[in-house]
Amino acid sequence: MDVRTKMQKSSPQLSTTSYQSVPTFPLHSTNEKAIPLLGFGTAEYPFGASIDTMKQIILEAIAVGYRHFDTAALYQTEQPLGEAISDALRLGLIKSRDELFITSKLWCSDAHHDCVIPALKKTLKNLKLEYLDLYLIHWPVSVKPGEYELPVKKDLVPIDLKSVWEAMEECQALGLTKSIGVSNFSCKKLETILSTAKIPPAVNQVEMNPMWQQKKLRKFCDEKGILIESYSPLGAKGTLWGTNRVMECELLKEIAQAKGKSLAQVCLRWAHEQGVCVLVKSFNKERMKQNLDIFDWKLSAEESRKISQLPQCKGFPAGEFVSDDGPYKSLEELWDGEI
């Protein structure tokens, strides 16, 4: 049974928030940890720009109802997220750490077999946690150890997906993470992992929004039981990888006006109706609340049909991972033609 069918046929538990009930979905890991299908992202550019206020931002997000938080070694937000979790427990905003679903990611400089477990242990130390709920390979790319920056320096080296994934599986076996997955992986690179994996990826976190709908990848992941997690669902305007195409789309503006919703809510609702998990990011408290308010209404069949016909353009081609001296000499090679 594919992910979307399973989602439709099962009766997922609901995580009650202050304003909405966010559906959860059990990942196909050995631990069957349920993931809230709306998460709060902590990435921003430049990385660390809000480091002094990030703890308070996350505390506000917990207070309004978010229970799923996404971070990464690259983002410099692991430590403030960990501090916010400690404060949330102390303040009684949550009763236990188990109420939260925490994701982090393995950066390219640690995408080497012997670096994976130490990298995850460092992440857990930053977060002051004993385990993650989900740990992802951030990119199907390796760089020389020690570099935590984007754009990356041109120290690109081939990634050994088989050995890196074996180390990810060991992380789960050791109880350092409940589930493992990937981010920014094409169908072909997923096939490479699946050909030898003992534990298949539970999640593939990728750019996805009405202007980059990922139809081929979503179909593949549905068939393989891999949950798609959508980042940049509004186009990530103002970031290194973002564009304004989504927020300035006339069709989306028309639908939003007709439904009495914000354009952002229309985008998030559309993504939710595709059967994926959606990551949102706003540091504005009112927009935090609005982003939660997408579960008690639907797009019409005609609205969905029109969105499905929007012209497609990838917002973040990730050309910094392409080099004449590196393993990927073109965007076609990096994305295996899925661009």
Provide the residue type at 266 as one letter.
V
In a domain, 62, yes or no: yes
Answer whether the bond into residue 311 is a cis peptide, omega within 30°.
no
In a domain, 6, yes or no: no
Q: Which residues are annotated as a binding site for substrate?
A: 138
Identify whether 75 is a catalytic site residue.
Answer: yes
CATH number at residue 33: 3.20.20.100
Angle at 127 between CA 98 and CA 86, to 5 degrees: 60
- Max Cα–Cα distance, the chain, nearest Å: 54
Which SS3 state, helix, strand or coil, does residue 257 take? helix
Q: Which residues are annotated as a binding site?
A: 138
In a domain, 3, yes or no: no
Distance CA 153, CA 169 (A): 28
Q: Print burial letters for 93-112: b (CB count within 10 Å at least 16), e (below 16).
A: eeeebeebbbbbbbbbbbbb
pTM above 0.85, yes or no: yes
Among candidate residues 66, 75, 231, 328, the one labeled active-site is: 75
In a domain, 2, yes or no: no
Residue span of the structural domain in which 287 resides: 24-335
- Structural domain count of the chain: 1
- What the block records as the tokens of 142 is 């390796």
In a domain, 188, yes or no: yes
DSSP state of 140: S
Distance CA 128, CA 243 (A): 35
Per-residue confidence in pLDDT tens, the chain, 339 aa: 555 454 444 333 333 344 348 999 998 766 667 899 999 999 876 666 667 789 999 999 999 999 999 999 999 999 999 999 999 999 999 999 999 999 999 999 999 999 999 999 999 999 999 999 999 999 999 998 877 777 776 689 999 999 999 999 999 999 999 999 999 999 999 999 999 999 999 999 999 999 999 999 999 999 999 999 999 999 876 666 667 889 999 999 999 999 999 999 999 999 999 999 999 988 888 999 999 999 999 999 999 999 999 999 998 888 889 988 889 999 999 999 988
Angle at 47 between CA 143 and CA 335, to 5 degrees: 45
